[in-house]
Every structure is written in C-alpha cells, then in structure tokens.
Chains A and B, each alone.
Chain A
Amino acid sequence: MRNVIPVLTIVAALIALWYIAVVPMNAQWTQDQARRAGQDISFTELVADTMSQSRPRLPAPHQVAQELWNSTIVEEMTGRRGFMNTGSLSNRSLIYHGWVTLSATLLGFAIGSGLGIALAVGIVHNRGMDASVMPWAIASQTIPILAIAPMIIVVLNAVGITGLIPKAIISTYLSFFPVVVGMVKGLRAPDQMQLDLMKTYSASGQQVFAKLRWPSAMPYLFASLKVGIAAALVGAIVAELPTGASAGLGARLLSGSYFGQTLQIWSALFAAAILAASMVALIGLIQRVTLKRMGMAA
C-alpha cells in the first residue's frame, strides 16, 4: 500500500499536464472564431473556450468523462433507443459497442488460450514437436500478425462467415502465442531434483504432469493469460477496422476519425482501456485466489 501516494501523485500530474496541453492544442480554433466574429477575447475566455469545444483537437479530461457517462448510462436510461425505452441496448451507446468487442475478445481468448495450453503440453512431451513447432511459435511473435487481420476478415466474409467469428479468430491468433510460450516455460519450470523425486515415487507420466508440472506452471499461466487477453482485445478492435464494421469499439474509432468526432474517438479509446484494465484485473484476482488456495501466494 505504500505505493498509493506516489501513484496518485503521478496520475494527478498526468491529468494536470493534460489540462495544460488542452489550451495550446485548441487555442487556434478559438482565436480563428473570435477573429471571424471581429471580437477580442481575453485569456480567461480563451481558456474557458478551449475546454468546451464540441470538436476539439484534444478534448479536456472532464469532456471525455462526460462523453463516456453520456454515451453509457444516460443513453441507456433516457435515450430514444436506450435500454429503458426499448428493452435492448442502444446502438449509440458504448455499452452496446463494448459488448460487441468484448464478446469477440472473450470467445477468441477462450479458444486461443485453450489451444495454446494444449500445444504447450504437446511441445513439452514430444521432442519432435519441440524441435519443429517451437522455433516457429517464437518466430511468429516477431511477425506483425495484425497485418493479416483485414485479409482474414474479408476472406471469411467471402466464404460467408461474418459477425463474431472472424473477429474471434484474430483474437485467438493473438492470444495463442503468448500462452504457448508462457506455458512451455511453466511446464518446464520444475527442476531436475523435483523430477527425480517423482521418479523415485515411480510416478507415471500423467501423474508427473498432474502433480508436478501443471501446478508449477500456474504462475506462468496467469502471467501469459494477462498478456493474452490484452492482445485479444487489441485483435478484436483492429479486426473491426478493415470492413467498416458498424458495431464495436473499433468501428467507433473508425467512424469518429472519418467524421472528425474527436470526443467519440477519445471515449471509445477510454472504454477500450477500461475494458482491458478490468479484464487484466479480473485475471489478477483469479490468480491471487488460485495461488492462495494452492499455497503458493507470494
């Protein structure tokens, strides 16, 4: 807990810096407006205006917070197409768009981490797989996999697969390799002494796996799951860019950038950040509970 004060200080400093940056970033537009109207504006008026433009180059933090609030709670509560009035989520609310992205992320993450664990088990138990697949798993991390995203989407569209699945495939792909690499490391974590002990117990291969390798891989598993889910979210967002998808946080980013709606971009960006942070925090929580029950809590 001794980190709380420094962290809060840093966050406060970042927000203060942001506020200071808002003024010069948006001043140009305010001055142009004033000149066109033939008015002279004082410095305080200038500052006040830069904080409240409808399409600022850099929105102020409170504007972003307000937009986030408006496009989630307010939209669903009072909006014409909101949840309260129609019984379904409004297509203008970030809750709806966030859910579209989140569902693809979670599906892809579940498949990706499942496959990743399976492949890691195979690699650890089969020398041929280790020698042939592992170098490619590592090399593939150096390849900008996201570049393939548009093609996968379009090709699957052409075959008739649309909606959730193509996005989930890209999320799968991105969350797959961190899990493979982390789990291979984790399953190999037991040292020779421990493996020898299992041998003196005359443990079978399955028993060594269930009682020694799997438990000692847990910390590695959770570390790589955290990386994996963050990557899966990025994958789902980027997957929404190329086809001009109409729903999802990526679609909000893209349409915001087409129409110069900066507030929309920033609120979508923060929604994505909140999503990523809460998913990583959730995995962190599960990690803490699991490791505690296993008696490995640090």
Chain B
Amino acid sequence: MKVLQQTGGLQWAGMALAVLVALTFGGVTALGLTTVVLLLATVVLGIVPQHRKGWLWLLAVAAALAGAGQALLPFAASSLPVMAAIVAIWLGAWMLVAQLADRPRVAKGPGRLQGLLAPLTFGVTLLWLWEVTVRALEVPRVILPAPSAIWARILRSTDILWVDFVQTFVKGALSGFAIGVGAAIVFALLVDRSDFLRRGLLPVGNFLAVLPIIGTAPIMVMWFGFDWPSKAAVVVAMVFFPMLVNTVQGLAATEAMQRDLMRTYNASWAQALLKLRLPAAMPFIFNGLKISSTLALIGAIVAEFFGSPTRGMGFRISTEVGRLQLDMVWAEIAVAALAGSLFYGMIALVERGVTFWHPSQRGR
C-alpha cells in the first residue's frame, strides 16, 4: 500500500476503516445519502498518489469533508455509525491538514496566506466537532451550548455585548493600559539616569512582575469605587512592572561600541536616547506591550468579579453563569477573545513596522 507511506496516509487508513464501520452498522439510513456519498468520495480521493495531489485535490477533499460534515448534522445521534462517521470526518480533516502543512512554503505574494490554511482548517474542524458532539450526545444547554446557539446569541444581543465591551475594554482595559504603559516608560527613563536605581529596581520589578497582582482588585474597588476607574487602576498595577522591567532592559541593550560612537559625535543624553537607545530598546518595549495587552483585558474582567455597575464583561459573565445562561457567557468570551486577539495583532503589526531591522522580523 503506497498510500500509507505518504503524508497523512495513516489518517487516511483510519478514515477508511471508520467509514467501513459506519457503512456496515448503519449505512444510508443512519447517516443520510449525501453524507455517505461524500465520505466515500473522500476515501477514494485519498488514494491519489502523492505527486498528483495539487490544489484541485485539496479543494475537492475540503469540499467533500465540509459537505459530509454539513449533511451529517441533522442525523447527529449517539449511535455507532454516526460516531464512526464523526471519527472519519475528523481523521479526514487531519489528513487534509497534514497535506497542507507538507506543501513547500511560499515566501512572497498571496501564497504567504497559505500558512493560514492549516490552522484555519484545524479551527473549523474543532468547531464542527464541538457542534456535532453537542448534538449527538444531546449535551444540556446549561453545560455546553453548541457554537450555532452561541452565534445566534451573539446576533441577538449585540447591543448588550457592545455596552459591555465599551465598559470593560475601552474604558477599563484601554485607559488602564495607556496610563500604566506610559507611566512605566517615563519611570524607566528616570531610572535610566542612575545605575544605582537600575540595579535596585530590576530585581524588585522582576519579583513584583510574577506576583499575583490581580489580587489587588478588591482593594482597588474599595478605593476607586465600582465603576471603571477601579478596573483601570487594577490594569495599571498589573501592566506597570512587566513594562518597566522590559523598558529598563531595553534601554540597557546597546553595546559599548555604539555608545562610544555617540560620545565621539558629542551627542547629548537626549540625542543618544532618541537616535540610539530608544530604537534599540524597541524590541523589548514591544515585548512588554504584548505581555501587557493580554494582562490588561484579564485584569479588567477579573476586577469586575469584585464589584461593578450593572454592565461590563466580567459582570455579565459572573451573573449569567449564576442564571445558567451559558450561551451568553460564551458570547462574552468570544467577544473578549476577538478583542484580545485584535489588540495583540495591532501591536504586533506596529512592531513589524517599527522594528523592521530586528533579526526576528527580517526572516519573514
């Protein structure tokens, strides 16, 4: 069997076996005609020899699998043929991912997006697996809602989600992030003037950065009240030390030779800072910004568990969990995940523009 020796061959064998099981024990009555036909088509497509598997083949397998997955949904029940079909589609998607990952990488042009195909396929498969498992096993809505139910909930309550997003992300997290990061950078510049301060602050800052600073949330709520300023204060406390440590380290990242060059130019402290040390510190500063961006959202959400006005993502999550409205909770989490990823992605994008000279960015 030559098929077994190529990439994804084992997955193909498993898929063929699972399809066989599904057909033997239930066949068309349990799975529906479309599912069966498309599954068989996938198995047949898998026999194509390695060197002939082009884009057309990938597209055909993807379409067959997607169709089979879609057609299976109404038949989802906890019976052996359906389970076997689920396993078959999962293994088929795995084969597809393996084949996608095995393709030579393209460095330029729209081909660069090829790298996104494998993770996307994987993500879609996971979502589908979630959906079909919830349907097949009839998982109660109060334990795990299906993705389709969550999506319907998101569409139905965009107004609530938007209000919560503004309260937690824009007011709490973003303002705290801006204040904390700004204060840390200014403080780092002050510290930078004195070697004594730097040697003292770096270990202390490193120490404080690993502490569970999120525990200050109840104190901040007590000091600054229930509304967003207390959330912003928690965020400031959380992002300050990671940012400070990274910036101070970054400002020390220049070499003696480079600093000497600045001295031969008779550059002032400000000139050396602007022309040499701040640019050299940028990779470190952006590292700190990335860490802080995730901490900011976490801080703002968790701080709301300790008291908040009747809006905000953390408030919504904790109250809707109490009312067992889990689809709303998942909707909030989806919004938080999207906001967090976009925020991170924006920082990464700016980083690519600012530190284009750094080895970690040049390879792309």
* A→B interface (CB under 8 Å): 2-3, 5-11, 14, 57, 127-128, 130-136, 139, 141-148, 150-151, 154-155, 158-159, 226-227, 230, 233-234, 237-238, 241-242, 249, 253-254, 256-257, 260, 262, 265-266, 268-269, 272-273, 276-277, 280
Partner of B119, one of A132, A155, A242, A266: A132
* B→A interface (CB under 8 Å): 7-8, 94, 97-98, 100-102, 115-116, 118-119, 121-123, 142-144, 196-197, 199-201, 203-204, 207, 210-212, 214-219, 221-223, 293-294, 297-298, 301-302, 305-307, 313-314, 317-318, 321-322, 324, 326, 329-330, 332-333, 336-337, 340-341, 343-345
Collect the chain B residues with CB atoms within 8 Å of residue A155's CB: 142-144, 326
Query: Can you add 20 more A-B contacts, CB < 8 Å, to A2-B199, A10-B201, A226-B210?
Result: A3-B199, A6-B199, A11-B204, A128-B118, A131-B97, A131-B115, A131-B119, A132-B97, A136-B123, A139-B341, A142-B341, A142-B344, A144-B301, A144-B340, A147-B333, A151-B329, A151-B330, A238-B214, A241-B302, A277-B211
Of B212, B306, B314, the most chain A CB neighbours within 10 A belong to B212
* Docked complex Cα distance between A286 and B287 (Å): 27
* Docked complex Cα distance between A5 and B196 (Å): 9
Of A57, A241, A249, the most chain B CB neighbours within 10 A belong to A241
- Shortest beta-carbon distance from B218 to chain A in Å: 3
- Shortest beta-carbon distance from B143 to chain A in Å: 5
* Docked complex Cα distance between A148 and B321 (Å): 10
- Shortest beta-carbon distance from A156 to chain B in Å: 9
* Docked complex Cα distance between A262 and B343 (Å): 35
Whether B301 and A147, one on each chain, are in contact in the complex, defined by CB atoms closer than 8 angstroms, is yes
Q: How many A-B residue pairs have CB under 8 A?
A: 170
Whether B298 and A147, one on each chain, are in contact in the complex, defined by CB atoms closer than 8 angstroms, is yes
Interface of A is mostly: helix
Whether B326 and A151, one on each chain, are in contact in the complex, defined by CB atoms closer than 8 angstroms, is yes
- Shortest beta-carbon distance from A25 to chain B in Å: 8
| A234 with B218, Cβ < 8 A, contacts A7-B203, A142-B344, A158-B142 known | no
| A241 with B305, Cβ < 8 A, contacts A143-B337, A257-B222 known | yes
Collect the chain A residues with CB atoms within 8 Å of residue B214's CB: 234, 237-238
- Shortest beta-carbon distance from A271 to chain B in Å: 10
Collect the chain B residues with CB atoms within 8 Å of residue A7's CB: 199-200, 203-204
Whether A233 and B218, one on each chain, are in contact in the complex, defined by CB atoms closer than 8 angstroms, is no
Partner of A10, one of B204, B313, B340: B204
Collect the chain A residues with CB atoms within 8 Å of residue B297's CB: 144
| A154 with B122, Cβ < 8 A, contacts A6-B196, A143-B336, A265-B218 known | no
- Shortest beta-carbon distance from A121 to chain B in Å: 17
Partner of A266, one of B94, B118, B219, B337: B219
* Docked complex Cα distance between A74 and B174 (Å): 44
| A237 with B305, Cβ < 8 A, contacts A144-B294, A144-B337, A155-B326 known | no
